[in-house]
């Protein structure tokens, strides 16, 4: 089970490195959305 958790953490770190997520406190925030803006 710990293997799955470490994989998820590595995936999140990958997204942070790419600039898609930013770690603030204990929450992840989506910085950029890969989808076009709604109703735009």
pLDDT in tens, 2-39: 899 899 888 888 877 877 667 666 666 665 655 666 66
Identify whether 40 is part of a domain: no
Identify whether 11 is part of a domain: yes
Strand partners, 29: 22
Identify whether 8 is part of a domain: yes
DSSP one-letter code for 39: T
CA distance 36 to 32: 10
pLDDT at residue 26, as a whole number: 65
Is there a contact between 31 and 20 (Cβ–Cβ < 8 Å)?
yes
Tokens standing for 5?
């958790």
pLDDT at residue 15, as a whole number: 79
CA distance 11 to 30: 14
pLDDT at residue 14, as a whole number: 84
pLDDT at residue 24, as a whole number: 66
Domain range for residue 10?
Answer: 2-34
Counting every residue, how long is the chain?
40
- How many domains in the chain? 1
């Amino acid at each position: 089970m710990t293997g799955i958790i470490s994989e998820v953490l590595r995936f999140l770190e990958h997204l942070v490195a790419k600039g898609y997520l930013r770690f603030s406190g204990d929450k992840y925030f989506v910085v950029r959305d890969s989808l076009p803006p709604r109703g735009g």
